[in-house]
Amino acid sequence: MNAPYLEVTFRRGKPLAAYLYLPRREGDRTASSEPVEDSLVIDRSADGRVIGLEIINPGAVSADRVNGILRQLQQPELPIGELAPLRVA
């Protein structure tokens, strides 16, 4: 997968969690997870590359916050439209 994408999981019509998939190589799996704050966890591959962001409480995380984390991780920011489901959550 070469393009990032956001997946939101709902339960009983309410957002339960979200995951931002970042570019990864075939066979990449999460080898370590690093909590950033109560609502965000960074997932890394075995060789330390960032491969995703777990968004534990989608309603508590803004698109600006996600892009701020991506900047800190030296990852490209995403257009606000790509993160629009977080606003709905």
Q: Which domain holds residue 48?
A: 5-88
Number of structural domains found in the chain = 1
pLDDT in tens, the chain (89 residues): 688 999 999 889 888 999 999 999 999 999 999 999 889 999 999 999 999 999 999 988 999 999 999 999 999 999 999 998 887 75
68: Cβ contacts below 8 Å, ≥ 6 apart: none
- The C-alpha atoms of residue 38 and residue 49 are separated, in whole angstroms, by 22
- The strands making up 5-11's β-sheet, listed across from edge to edge, are 5-11, 14-21, 50-55, 40-44, 32-37
Residues 6+ apart with CB under 8 A from 77: 67, 70, 71
